[in-house]
Amino acid sequence: MAETIRDAVAAVRQKVGDKPARAIVKLRAEGRMGEGTRCDMRVGSFEVGVDEPVSVGGTGTAPNPVQLSLAALGSCQAITYRYWATELGLRLDAVTVSLEASFDTGAFFGFPGAAGPVSPSDVHCAVTLEGPEPEERYKELVTVVDEHCPILDLFTRSIPVERNVTFA
């Protein structure tokens, strides 16, 4: 697997050559929601269901968007560890992630007195790395992964979102 990743990344690097802009790809998602809170998102050939729990009037068929953002953060940490362990030549047998965040339903629903942000807050991400390398090398890996993890960067950076709303 390490060879597969190394070869694939080398091929992308070769293709990009001395034109860094060639490395920029467009990613897309789309979806539709009907009467309830169930939302069927499509990402390329994959479907991602999103819903709200029954306790807040949803149909409880899938994770909600904030839970999905935590799944994105945890998996992105793990996958970034995989790529950068390969790049640095470190054996990494497994990565385990465990995430927790606070969410203020009062801020979301607009209850009086709600003071918190509507985004998740108090975000904690615990990572366990398994492998035979000296701890010192994994610590180097942690530093590099912190600098290259897209969804960690998404959480900690302020990213503008251009929106267009159409009335049909």
Q: Which of residues 46-85 bind a second copy (CB under 8 A)?
A: 46, 48, 50, 52, 54-58, 62-83
Closest distance of CB 28 from a second copy, Å: 5
What the block records as the tokens of 65 is 């968007």
| 131-to-82, 91, 126, 138 alpha-carbon distances in Å | 12, 6, 17, 9
Query: Judged by CB under 8 A, does residue 154 bind a second copy?
Result: yes
The footprint of a second copy on residues 97-126 (CB under 8 A) is: 97-111, 113-126
CB of 24 to a second copy, least distance (A): 5
Site for a second copy in 27-46 (CB under 8 A): 27-37, 39, 41, 43-44, 46
Residues constituting the chain: 168
Rank residues 89 and 93 by Cβ distance to a second copy and give the closer one: 93
Instruction: Tell whether residue 132 is a contact of a second copy (CB under 8 A).
Output: no
Tell me the closest approach of the beta carbon of residue 141 to a second copy, in angstroms: 9
Whole-angstrom distance, CA of residue 15 vs CA of residue 22: 8
Contact assessment for residue 86 and residue 73, using Cβ atoms and an 8 Å cutoff: no
- DSSP letter at 38? -
SS3 71: helix
